[in-house]
Amino acid sequence: MLRAVADAEPDDVIDLRGANRAFIEEKIELGWAQSERGEFLTAAESRADMARRKADWLAARQG
């Protein structure tokens, strides 16, 4: 569950539970390491990637 709180600590804003916590933490660490190595997408590339993933997800749901 996400809550919008301007002055909250990260752990208070993102409620990570159970197995999802490990998965989310792994993804965050991977993304952080990639950005430190300069391996990141531009804003336009990121939007295109998100649009592609959404289209794939929608297509899979419509089966």
pLDDT tens digits for 20-58? 778 888 988 998 999 899 888 889 999 999 999 999 999
Q: Does the structure show a pLDDT above 70 at 8?
A: no
**Predicted TM-score (pTM) of this structure:** 0.47
Give strand pairing partners of 14: 2
Q: pLDDT at position 12, please?
A: 62
Q: pLDDT at position 33, please?
A: 93
Yes or no: say if 13 and 5 are a contact pair by the CB < 8 Å rule. yes
Confidence of residue 1 (pLDDT cuts 50, 70, 90): very low
